[in-house]
Amino acid sequence: MSNLLCVGTAGMSVWFSRDNGESWIRPYIESGLYLEARVWALSAHPQRPGEVLAGTDSGLYRWNEGDQKWTHLPSILDDYDIWSMAQAPDDPDTIVVGTQPANIFLSTDGGKTFAATKGSFAEACIFVGKPRVTQILFDPIDKDTLWAGVEIDGVHRSTDRGRTWKKVGQGINSEDIHGVSVVKNATETGGKLVYATTNRGLNVSKDNGETFSFQELDSPWQYTRTIKPRADGDRTVFLTNGNGPPGSTGRLLRSRDYGATFEDAGLPGTLNSTPWTVATHPSDPKLIFVCSNLGQLFRSIDGGESWIKLPREFGEVRSTIWQSL
């Protein structure tokens, strides 16, 4: 069994590796996606090996590993930049997409059609002009609940599989949301913790997102980007931390206690920017990839205990996923 590793970039389209990052290809324009595409979001589903969805600055595209082609899926999304995307764990044809300007769209037919969901999002942002939905997440405990982070408009929650949205998160220390994660923990109320990463640090909710509290890191910086449990369970959690966007350095942090405490995971060498993405997959939880915002790539084959820096470097990285073929 081989793996397909995908890196989405801001201006260099999608790069593919079929040998865990040792070598790379970027399909040419005849593949169906132009070489300078800005690719903010990638998604793949275990029930569809060899299929990858890419959210870009020119709409939604589907990759078919069999014929090595991208297919544009025309829809209302062509009028937006697609910044985030998630497929329902129990149904790959249910696709929820977050955009800039900030809106959330839902498809239940595999991307053939999309409809705007019901929600209220900010129309202006002092940092990026028009707010953007930076993450969409299906709750791993409640299949009808979804989470969205909006930059800048806080955390939003849906309890009807993405059809309607409500802003939650009272007490969060910044509404500049970069990432959202749900960590299963049986000792907590409802069996879970909800984390939100912001420009001012990590926030945690123990009441299903109704309220959040700041969780200070033992780090030179509080800026956080991605938080993600390792795919074999939720005790081990990875958090990207650095000195800004894109920043000039940073650290990957690792927790062994559901996110209660973090330690330096030990990425080797000198980082050129804040770590930005973490890719983990249940088919091989020990295999993990991390990219910095400015394109450095790291790999672990022992679940994050040790890391190597791979030779390949990209431009600006926005999304990283891998899947088994």
Burial class for 195, CB neighbours closer than 10 Å (0-12, 13-18, 19+) = buried
> Is residue 262 classed exposed, middle or buried when 0-12, 13-18 and 19+ CB atoms within 10 A define those classes?
buried
What is the distance between the alpha carbons of residues 160 and 139, in angstroms, rounded to a whole number? 12
49 preceded by cis ω (within 30°)?
no
* Predicted TM-score of the model (pTM): 0.96
Residue with the two structure tokens 């081989």: 2
**Residues 111, 95 contacting (CB under 8 angstroms):** yes
Kindly list the distances between the CA atom of residue 114 and the CA atoms of 73, 77, 134, in Å, as whole numbers in the listed order: 10, 8, 19
Q: What is the pLDDT confidence band of residue 128, given thresholds at 50, 70 and 90?
A: confident
pLDDT band at 159 (very low <50, low <70, confident <90, very high): very high
Domain parsing of the chain, residue ranges: 3-324
User: pLDDT-based confidence at 190, cuts 50/70/90?
Assistant: confident
Share of the chain above pLDDT 90, in %: 94
For residue 1, pLDDT over 80 is answered with no
Split at pLDDT 50, 70, 90, the class of 320 is very high
Residue 232 burial class via C-beta count within 10 angstroms: exposed 0-12, middle 13-18, buried 19 and up: middle
Average pLDDT over residues 255-264: 97
pLDDT at 29: 87
Say if domain 3-324 classifies as CATH 3.30.499.10.
Answer: no
